[in-house]
Structures are given as structure tokens and as C-alpha cells.
Amino acid sequence: MKVFFVGFGQAGGKVADMFIEQDRRLQTQNFSAIAVNTARTDLMGLKNIELKDRLLIGQTVVKGHGVGTDNLTGARVTADEIDSIISAIGTRCTHDVDAFVIVAGLGGGTGSGGSPVLARHLKRIYREPVYAIGILPAPEEGRLYSYNAARSLSTLVNETDNTFIFDNSAWKNEGESVKDAYTRLNDEIVRRFGVLFRAGEVSKAGVGEMVVDSSEIINTLRGGGITSVGYAISEKVAPRVKQSQGFLSGILRKKDKTEEVLTGEDKSAKIINLVRRAMLGRLTLPCDYSSAERALVLLAGPPDEMDRKGVEKSKSWVEENIAGVEVRGGDYPVDSDYVAAVVVLATIGNAPRITELMEIAKSTKEDVLKSREKRSTMFDDGIEPLFE
Ligand SMILES: Nc1nc2c(ncn2[C@@H]2O[C@H](COP(=O)(O)OP(=O)(O)O)[C@@H](O)[C@H]2O)c(=O)[nH]1
Ligand SMILES: [Mg+2]
């Protein structure tokens, strides 16, 4: 797929910047991006998105200092300047873009408030699907972050064609602060979604047996709602005749150097095993996978490691384990020493983390209302104010 990313706010900008970095490193031209923010310093911190593709909004309101964690202001500023954002996207977005992906941390202000507004407008203007990657805050960041994320997410799911969720709290290590984990977490995000979004694009490795194309990704996501992604990577596979440029080795984490020569049976067993590990392992949003309505199974790796039977069998296994019956899948041939499996669990019906987030938001709202009441009863209505 050819994807146009909009990195909204600080987290969104950093992640979009890393997608561009990956595209450069692999010398592909699958991704393009702009970054939008109300904070000048956040935009200055980016490394790969060109300066001319970084948009500072809300200058008359916050003077380049950001909106803090006020996502209402984030939404207002975005609505006020939507024309210039849309026109910036319009001049950079080429006719061959297959999808838009807005990336944002949902717990803050700019990305949290701005993303749903932008999604609505992009959907009105373009025929291509509009997706979001929404990053959930960790509970330790405080109730305001959860409240922001809950409000943003409930709006976002209605304005996008589908929203991928990455949960910071599920990915940071015990005892590690969220901030210290950012770089590692962003790496995990870009690795998974990089493989998924690139599927269907021509790579140097040639044509696969049963290639997943963009329309299959789009059809998998058609149900809307929220989506979680699983991922696993094999051991290093047997060396190939032509030494690879290492498509995946550039983006996948290296395992040990085991080199084995596989027969057909082994190959298919290995693929099934990898897909299982992807779905049963840590998902971008931990959730009940059996509540997914649709799924996509994607195998990326060297063509001689791909196995039709293995892919078919893993698809059936996924189908047996999810609520719906629509499971798509295939391979994405790439020059690599590894095989990666990506399992997209689309339109999830049950994720405890989301339920929890919504509950925190509800109680936070009640507390806010209560404290407002207190404030208003403390002063006597009979006393006349100095002016009104
Ligand atoms: N995964 C990840 N999360 C981040 C990063 N930076 C900030 N966040 C989280 O994203 C949420 C919003 O923060 P931020 O992006 O700074 O807000 P904004 O700039 O107002 O949109 C918070 O919950 C942060 O913990 C990052 O680089 N990676
Ligand atoms: Mg910030």
C-alpha cells in the first residue's frame, strides 16, 4: 500500500517521522508524511520529515507553545485551520496513495483533539480510506490523560474507517517510565505497521505465490471500530543464493543465527507456528482475539520460505478462533533473512483496556462536575459581583 501519514501532535509526529526514516533506509517510496502540531519545539525535534512538511497550527491562540493537555483547544485550533491543513495534504499527496493514516497519542491535547477533526474532513474530501493509529496513555500518566483518550477515541472511531490501537501501558516494562520507553515503543509500532502497510507493494524479491494486495487490507478493515495487530518473527532462515539487501533485517529484530534447510512439511509447520505466535503473543492492544470480526494473515519473507499450504492452514486456524468468518491472507515476498507474520484482528468486540478507559473517563467527568458544583455553592448568590 502507498500510505500518506499525518503525524498529529508530539507522539504522532515522532512515529510518522520514523515511518519516513524506515522508507528511506529501505529505499522504497511507499510512505509520505506531514507533521502537524501546535508546539514549535516538537516540530523542530523531528529528523526525517522535511521542514517544509511540518505544519505549525494555532499560532494566534497558543503562540507555538502547544495546547498542553487541553484537547478541546486542540480540536478547535484544528477546525479553525482545517483549510490550510487540507491544502498542505492536497499539494503533497500523490494520486497513487491508497490510504491515509493519522497517528496520534490520544491522551494529550493536540493529537487527541485534532485527529478526529482532521479525519472527518479527509473522509469528506477523499475516496481513499482514512485510518488512525491511536496510542493509549498509561494509567500512571493520570486520569486527565485517560479522560482525554476516552473522549478522543469515541469520536475517532466514528470519523475513521478503522482505528488501530497501540497501548503504551501494555508495552512498557515493569518499573520503566513511559517516557523512557518511547523510543522502544515507537520502534515496535513502526516495525509492525511498516510490514502491514507495505504489503502489496513491489519489492526486489519478486512476485509471491499468493500476494496480499491493498484491497485485501482495506476490505479487512471495512467493518470499522478498533483493530489490534499481532506480530512474530522467525529465526534466521537458510542463506539464499543471492545475498539479500535485507529488507526485513533492516526493520525486524535479529534473532540468533540458526540456519536450517527446510523441507516442504517443515516450512508449512513453521509458518503455522509463526502465525500462532503472532496472534497469541502480545498484541498492539491486548484484547480478546476471539471477538474479532475479520482478520488478515500476512507472511513477509523470502519467496522460497513461503508455503501455500502453511498460509492456508494458518488462515483456517485463525478463522476457527475469531468471531467472524472473513479471514484474508497471503504473502509479501521480501528480500530478507527472516520470515515475519502479521495478524490483523479487525473490529474487536471486547478489549478490557478500552472498557477500563471508558470507566475512568466516566468517573473523572462526574468528579469534575462535582468540583464545579462545590465551587459555585461556596460563594453566596446574594452578594453582588463587582461587574458582570
Ligand atoms: N508511544 C509513544 N507515546 C508517546 C510518545 N510521546 C508521547 N506519547 C504519549 O502520547 C500521549 C499524548 O502526548 P503528546 O503526543 O505529547 O500530546 P500532544 O503533543 O498534545 O498531541 C501521552 O499519553 C504520551 O505518553 C512517543 O514518542 N511514543
Ligand atoms: Mg507532549
The pLDDT tens digits for 20-71 are: 999 999 989 999 999 999 999 999 999 999 999 999 999 999 999 999 999 9
CATH code reported for the domain at 225-348: 3.30.1330.20
CATH code reported for the domain at 3-198: 3.40.50.1440
Other beta carbons within 10 angstroms of residue 383's beta carbon come to 6
CA nearest ligand 1 atom 26, residue: 11
For 80-129, the pLDDT digits (tens) are 999 999 999 999 998 999 999 999 999 999 999 999 999 999 999 999 99
Ligand located closest to 12 CA: 1
**Distance from the alpha carbon of residue 29 to the mean position of ligand 2, in angstroms:** 29
Q: Which three cell numbers stand for residue 39?
A: 508546539
pLDDT at 239: 64
pLDDT at 177: 83
Answer whether 145 contacts ligand 1 (Cβ < 6 A). yes
**Distance from the alpha carbon of residue 11 to the mean position of ligand 1, in angstroms:** 4
Phi, psi of 299 (to 5 degrees): -110, 120
The bridge status of strand 340-348 relative to strand 292-301 is antiparallel
pLDDT at 370: 84
The answer to whether 4 and 20 are in contact (CB under 8 A) is: no
Distance CA 95, CA 88 (A): 15
**Distance from the alpha carbon of residue 10 to the mean position of ligand 2, in angstroms:** 5
pLDDT at 338: 93
The answer to whether 284 and 165 are in contact (CB under 8 A) is: yes
pLDDT at 259: 46
For 93, residues 6+ apart whose C-beta sits below 8 A from its C-beta are 4, 32, 100
What torsion do the CA atoms of 348, 352, 358, 360 make, to the nearest 10 degrees? -160
| Domain assignments of the chain as residue spans, ordered by start | 3-198, 225-348
| Angle value at C-alpha 261, between 191 and 229, nearest 5 degrees | 20
List of the chain residues with pLDDT < 50 = 242-244, 254-259
**Residues lying with their CB under 5 A of ligand 2, a single-atom ion:** 10
